């Protein structure tokens, strides 16, 4: 299993900006690309408007999936932020990791965060941290 996720540097920077834009609410969205490199970010609205949970409304999720397919890309990642606390998968994140082939990016809006963007593979309740390679 691949232990590194490759992402364009500008997408990595946009992820950090997304987390800081809404520091009190979990931001969320999809990441897509091709040939194993994340090249596109698709911000979504957190339908729960919560600081501790996120959900993308089904209509928006389907629209984003159609847009990704129309652009000839594939879903490679899903992101959300943890406004307070460590940017490590919560029990709920692990329980609701419905896309085992996607990298789950968890962002911290805290300016002092040692690693504001972290990525994980979550499969069958098991969490593996991935290295992030900016390309």
pLDDT tens digits, one per residue of 97-117: 999 999 999 999 988 888 999
User: SS3 string of 36-98?
Assistant: CEEEEEEEECCCCCCCCCCCCCHHHHHHHHHHHHHCCCEEEEEEEECCCCCCCCCHHHHHCCC
Would residue 74 show up in a list of annotated catalytic residues for this protein? Answer: no
pLDDT value for 76: 98
- CATH of range 4-134; options 3.40.50.2300, 3.40.140.10, 3.20.20.140, 3.90.105.10: 3.40.140.10
Does residue 1 surpass a pLDDT of 70? Answer: no
- Rounded to 10 degrees, what is the CA torsion of 83, 87, 89, 92? -10
Q: Quick count: other Cβ atoms within 10 Å of Cβ 128? A: 11
Whether residue 2 has pLDDT greater than 80? no
Tens digits of per-residue pLDDT, 75-92? 999 999 999 888 999 999
- The pLDDT value recorded for residue 116 is 93
Of the candidates 2, 13, 26, 55, the residue annotated as catalytic is 26
Q: What is the DSSP letter of 35?
A: T
């Amino acid at each position: 299993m691949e232990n590194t996720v490759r992402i364009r540097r500008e997408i990595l920077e946009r992820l950090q900006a997304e987390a800081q834009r809404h520091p009190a609410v979990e931001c969320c969205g999809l990441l897509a690309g091709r040939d194993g490199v994340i090249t596109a970010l698709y911000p979504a609205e957190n339908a729960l408007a919560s600081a501790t949970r996120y959900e993308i409304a089904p209509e928006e999720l389907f629209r984003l999936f159609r847009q990704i397919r129309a652009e000839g890309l594939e879903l490679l990642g899903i992101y959300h932020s943890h406004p307070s606390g460590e940017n490590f998968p919560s029990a709920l994140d692990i329980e609701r990791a419905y896309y085992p082939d996607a990298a789950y990016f968890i962002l911290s809006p805290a300016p002092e965060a040692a690693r504001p963007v972290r990525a994980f593979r979550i499969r069958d309740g098991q969490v593996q941290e991935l290295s992030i390679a900016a390309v």
